[in-house]
Chain A
Amino acid sequence: MKKTVFIFAISLSFGQGLDKMDILISDLEEILRNSSRSFQNVFVEDFTGLQ
């Protein structure tokens, strides 16, 4: 029983650690994705009336 609880506790803490790692990796992936995105210039067409 003790062994079972011990193993469960270890796997739980590992699981939480892995969850945190997953979150960190996911955050890093999001940062990398955003840093490589292109940003738009603005285009204005002036159909002018001056003569």
Chain B
Amino acid sequence: MLDSYPETLISIEWHSSSFTPGNSDFDIPEYSTRASLYGVGGIPHTQWNGVEETVGGYANGNWEPFMSTFTALYNSMVDDETPYDISINGYIGNEVSYDVTITMDSDMSSSNQKIDVFLVEDNIWSYWTGASQYHNARNVARDWLLSDDLTISETGESEFFTGSFNLSDSWNSDSVKIIAVVQNYSSKQVYQVAQVNINDMNPDIDDDGIINVEDNCVDIFNPNQEDSDFDSIGDPCDPCDNLVYVLGNLNGDVLMGAPILDVFDVLQLVNFLIDSNSHECQNDIMNINGDDFINVVDVISLIQMIMTGEM
């Protein structure tokens, strides 16, 4: 089935120490954490997009009787709409460095949303006692590289995760893949999954000569890495000059390079309190008194700042 849907069906094969081919190293400690996420009891157990399961055995490792069930599950899930797109890139050096970019094309709450990154090795020829035969183990879990919270929730937002790992001498490096999953840990629903063979990763998405993990604008060509406000976000992808949009300078005006705080900034703040409209460069500079609330007290604090000349 994996070969029938190579682009849209992504799998991981987990092994406990009790169920692993003899003399193999398929069992990893992370098995128990992942199994407990779904309350895995009876083995074998398949979990589809985190929410649909099949439990039950098969004679001598023959999955054929389950194919119609699996196909029905696949067809019910594939091409569901999702707000998330996942891109996996990186390069192989002394170790393997990877970067995962999550992008949203519609809004969804980030509550309980997590990104997990797994390492698998595909097509491991091994002898299975229970089936008395050799079998190609597919996408065997080799490591759980990363588990982190997603913070993005709105259309157009992106979030970037990086990491690295070492290849084991016992692995076939041609068959090693990285799998990234966006999953809600409350409902267990998987919202998107992507995989890439480590030999197919792109180390420099925008082809500007700066590898992704060192590029201050990952997907915009900027070979000179200009960063006017020294915030590690390159100018082409940094809409807010932090040297201009300092605390209180809501309209972003400057005189001879220096931000100007005046009554026009006060009016901008008052406008925000009335209609809640602001642009992204204003969001972090309206909380004048630093109390996590933006209200009339900030207006008073801003007026005080202007009158006393504080910056």
List, in ascending order, chain A residues with CB within 8 A of B20's CB: 51
- Given the interface pairs A37-B105, A37-B106, A40-B82, the reply to whether A45 lies near B47 with Cβ below 8 Å is yes
Interface residues of B in 25-56 (CB under 8 A from A): 31, 34-35, 38, 40, 43-50
Q: Using a Cβ–Cβ cut-off of 8 Å, how many residues does chain A contribute to the interface with B?
A: 16
List, in ascending order, chain A residues with CB within 8 A of B64's CB: none
B81 CB–A CB distance under 8 Å: yes
- Given the interface pairs A43-B193, A47-B14, A51-B20, the reply to whether A37 lies near B44 with Cβ below 8 Å is no
SS of B interface (majority): mixed
Annotate A27-51 by CB proximity to B: 1 below 8 A, 0 otherwise: 0000000001111111111111111
Determine how close the nearest CB of chain B comes to the CB of A34; give it in whole angstroms.
8
Q: Tell me if A47 and B35 are in contact (CB < 8 A).
A: yes
B223 CB–A CB distance under 8 Å: no
- Given the interface pairs A38-B192, A41-B8, the reply to whether A49 lies near B79 with Cβ below 8 Å is no
B267 CB–A CB distance under 8 Å: no
Across the A-B interface, how many residue pairs have beta carbons closer than 8 Å?
A: 116
Annotate B174-193 by CB proximity to A: 1 below 8 A, 0 otherwise: 00000001000000001111
Cα separation A46 to B135 with both chains bound (whole Å): 15
- Given the interface pairs A38-B81, A38-B192, A39-B81, the reply to whether A44 lies near B46 with Cβ below 8 Å is yes
Cα separation A46 to B171 with both chains bound (whole Å): 20
- Given the interface pairs A38-B83, A40-B78, A42-B49, the reply to whether A48 lies near B193 with Cβ below 8 Å is no
**A–B pairs, 19, beta carbons within 8 Å:** A37-B106, A39-B82, A42-B5, A42-B8, A42-B77, A44-B12, A44-B46, A44-B47, A45-B47, A46-B11, A46-B13, A46-B14, A46-B44, A47-B16, A47-B40, A48-B13, A49-B43, A51-B22, A51-B129
Task: Mark B residues whose CB is within 8 Å of A.
Answer: 5, 7-16, 18-22, 31, 34-35, 38, 40, 43-50, 57, 61, 70, 73-74, 77-85, 105-106, 128-131, 135, 181, 190-194
Task: Mark A residues whose CB is within 8 Å of B.
Answer: 36-51
